[in-house]
Amino acid sequence: MSVLKVARIGHPVVRAAARELTPDEIRSPEIQRLIDDMRVTMYEYEGVGLAAPQIHESLRLAVLEVPGSDKRAEEGVPGPHGGTGVPFTVLVNPKVTPLGPETVEGWEGCLSIPDLRGLVPRFARLRLEALDREGKPYTVEAEGFHARVIQHECDHLEGNVYLDRMRDMRTLSFIKELHDYVLGGREEGEEEEHE
């Protein structure tokens, strides 16, 4: 498995709509290896999600995982060892349907936009329909941070980034300044959310 180079905003692949994968492509050794490399890359950069366009592959494929020990997992689902979190999940050709009009603002960051955070409104609850790494369909209902991560990664598959969803660009901050002046020394995960 390899750590892959992350495409930053400005590279055309980050702003292009990605193409769907067929079930046969999903099961191919190349895509299976890509999924494993994406997982390793996500861990290396301490992310909780990664979309294929972020690693220079214009495919409707994303991975996500929020360990139960991660402060951002407080709104996640119960984990196998008692904590909360989101297990490692592969999303292929995902479709997101909001479950109601309620939105919640939270801090987000992005591996393709390093060192910055901004307040982003997201649907509070959603239904995700996708294919797993074997090409089998599944459906998940998510809320809170889990729903935020899904929406963030699915945006990448359409060529969008969190900056496009911000209501007020004046909240855009470098991480250090966010902690020093906005959060007052709190960690983002204590009361705020980011990816």
Residue 74: active-site member: no
78 φ, ψ (degrees, to nearest 5): -55, 135
Distance CA 152, CA 49 (A): 8
Instruction: Please give the structure tokens belonging to residue 73.
Output: 């997992």
Please check whether residue 195 is in contact with residue 55, taking contact to mean a CB–CB distance below 8 angstroms.
no
SS3 per residue for 123-153: ECEEEEEEECCCCCEEEEEEEHHHHHHHHHH
Contact status, residue 195 vs residue 110, Cβ threshold 8 Å: yes
Contact 129, 137 (CB under 8 A): yes
CA atoms within 13 A on the CB side of 150: 31
Q: What phi, psi does 67 have (nearest 5°)?
A: -60, 145
Catalytic residue among 153, 188, 192, 195: 153
Return the biggest CA–CA distance within the chain.
50
Instruction: Give me the active site residues, please.
Output: 153
